[in-house]
Amino acid sequence: MTDPFDQAFWDERYRSQSSLWSGKPNVHLVGEAAELTPGTALDVGCGEGADAIWLAGRGWQVTGVDVSTVALQRAAGHAAQAGDGIAGRIDWVHADLLRWDPGAACYDLVSAQYLHLPDPLRADLFRRLAASVAPGGTLLIVGHHPSDLHTTMPRPPLPERFFTGEDIVALLDPHAWEVVTDTAAPRQATDPDGHSVTIHDTVLRARRG
């Protein structure tokens, strides 16, 4: 059985479908970053590239990083098809996020959407991501809220993979960060039986002083 955190797992998952994701940018990225002044951005776990392409289209210089070379190849293809010079504003990086160091104070925006790791792996990664945010920059972390485990939506029965905004804030130096958004944002979804279900996303946006 392949490790759910390694390249083999994700390459196999991407190969299993022609498109794994919707091709649209994540709604919370759009909601939280639309009014930010473009600069340098890091899209962590960029997948097939929708978020990176959206950011590049708004003038950001983006680094998209993922463990899967299959995903990165698709992302690069989608960026090339987007035109308007978007491909030239994105650097695609193949890296194992469990070990990769993005560098200190490098990015004006660091976005991590739906990265679900158990502690201490999650805490270690989120600390590294926070350290990579430049002064005045933004850290945006989004994930499935733990309350989703009590709905009929299919979620892995692994509560240690889910997190709240409080969990992320606890990793940040309160003297160095201002919390802008900390919420469990509700949205409607349809479960496997066709029923409408209210689920929640953890959305944490913080600004580095």
At residue 17 the predicted structure's pLDDT band, cuts being 50, 70 and 90, is confident
What is the CATH classification number for the domain harbouring 94?
3.40.50.150
- Count of domains in the chain? 1
Residue 137 lies in a domain: yes
Residue 1: pLDDT band by 50, 70, 90 thresholds? very low
Q: Is 30 exposed, middle or buried (0-12, 13-18, 19+ CB in 10 A)?
A: middle
- What's the mean pLDDT when you consider all of the chain? 95
Mean pLDDT calculated for residue range 15-21: 83
Residue 9 lies in a domain: no
Residue 19 banded pLDDT, cuts 50, 70, 90: confident
Question: How much is the pLDDT for 3?
Answer: 61
pTM of the model as a whole = 0.94
Residue 67 in any domain: the answer is yes
Residue 47 lies in a domain: yes
**Could you tell me the residue range of the domain that residue 178 belongs to?**
25-208
Half-sphere exposure of 138 (CA within 13 A, CB side): 22
Rounded Cα–Cα distance for residues 5 and 138 (Å): 26
Q: Is residue 180 part of a domain?
A: yes
Is 19 a domain residue?
A: no
Q: Please say if the pLDDT value at position 156 is more than 70.
A: yes
Q: Are the C-beta atoms of 46 and 66 separated by less than 8 Å?
A: yes
Check whether 26 has a pLDDT greater than 60: yes
